Amino acid sequence: MLFISNIMLWKTNLAARRAWRSLMLRLNSATAGLSSGPGFWDRSDGLSCVSAEKPPHMPVMLKEVLHYLDVQPAQVVLDMTFGGGGHTKAILNTASEVTVLALDRDPTAISLAQQLAKEHSGRVKPLLGRFSELEALLSNMNIKSGSIDAVLLDAGCSSMQMDQAERGFSLSKDGPLDMRMDGERYPDMPCAADVVNTLDQQALASILTAYGEERHARKIASAIVEARRVNPITRTQQLASVVAGAFPPGVVYARKDRLQRRAHIATKTFQALRIFVNDELNELHTGLCVAQSALKPGGRLCVITFHSLEDRLVKRFLQGHDLSNLDQYHFSQNKQGSRKKKLVDEDSECNKSSYWFPVKRKVVNPEKDDVRENPRGRSAKLRIALRQ
């Protein structure tokens, strides 16, 4: 069984590590046809189902990506998150004889990449896999280190995943509480329902704090544990209701997003579970390392992130920080000392990377018109660097 084994949270939290081991034992017992005890939930309720419907996909910050990638004829570009293919299609139309290596961990996205490959014979190479599998995939294609001209990494969850209720990503659409990006490939991998129904209260609170930066993590974790004693939590809107029930009615939509629209109180809970289930931060770090190895000297890297955890990781990576232990930077801010101590001059010699030269010192945000057309891209941040 494949499971998330390298999340730093579990290396530093004994209670969480024990709870995670318990989860794996329970799932293994269920797989073997053994009794899993009273209240074990049925994970077969559409959790691995993927809709054939192809909702519209709008690539984020397309103009900015094309500008900073600066793709030239006959170059090789690695699109590390193909998604709906919007960025890849634009790259193909930008310059002649460009070859795009289209990676995605989601089989649904790769099916779209395969269709695009038929339309552009020899110019699109679909690659099914995670960032952590990319090095082997490139090696199998005889693509050597330092041979790629440009890399685009669009982190986070795609619109296709969010729009399909049966994938379990969206709290506004009722569906099985899944959230796995590649559940088809690894049907035994723990899903969000496994997490909320098995891990203890302390472990759940740790996840919500670490990956959702949720201030009310303990309160929400307590509500989840109480609710699952009555019935297992197996649906997205069921979980949203449990989280909302822990707060007064007036607080449920008190938070606002960057467009000043009301956001559900469970939004950060859903984000935290999704990041944890898919091991997104460790995958992102691995992806950045592979991009660093794959790019030619002078090659361009564009990275789009959608929340502070991702952006913080990318920023530190491009500055040359040692991120071998992610727990040192993306968990509780108290672990990093006072704000004054954390503010290091980006131009100081100790904070410069020997691998990357920033094309822009400041992060690039989407334009107001783009946000109005595609509200989901409102939190996007683009960082650009040259491989030295």
- For each of the domains in the chain, give its residue range(s) and CATH number, in order of start: 62-154+280-323+355-387 (3.40.50.150), 170-278 (1.10.150.170)
For residue 162, how many other CB atoms are within 10 A of its CB?
17
Element (H, E) at 139: helix 131-140
pLDDT at 153: 97
Instruction: Identify the H or E element spanning 195.
Output: helix 192-198
Give the global pTM. Answer: 0.82
What is residue 347's predicted lDDT score, i.e. its pLDDT? Answer: 46
What's the rounded Cα separation, in Å, for the pair 348 and 346? Answer: 6
pLDDT of residue 66: 97
Do 233 and 193 meet the contact criterion of CB atoms below 8 Å apart?
A: yes
> What are the backbone angles phi and psi of residue 150, rounded to the nearest 5°?
-155, 150
Q: What is the mean pLDDT of each run of 10 residues along the chain (388 residues)?
A: 39 49 60 41 45 57 96 98 95 96 95 96 96 97 97 84 79 91 90 96 96 95 98 96 92 66 87 94 96 98 94 94 68 41 45 87 90 82 97
CA dihedral 172, 178, 181, 185 (to 10 degrees): -150
Q: What is the pLDDT of residue 38?
A: 33
- Smallest Cα–Cα separation from 70: which of 299, 367, 325? 299
Residues 6 or more apart whose Cβ sits within 8 Å of residue 2: 186, 188, 189
Q: What per-residue confidence (pLDDT) applies to 164?
A: 77
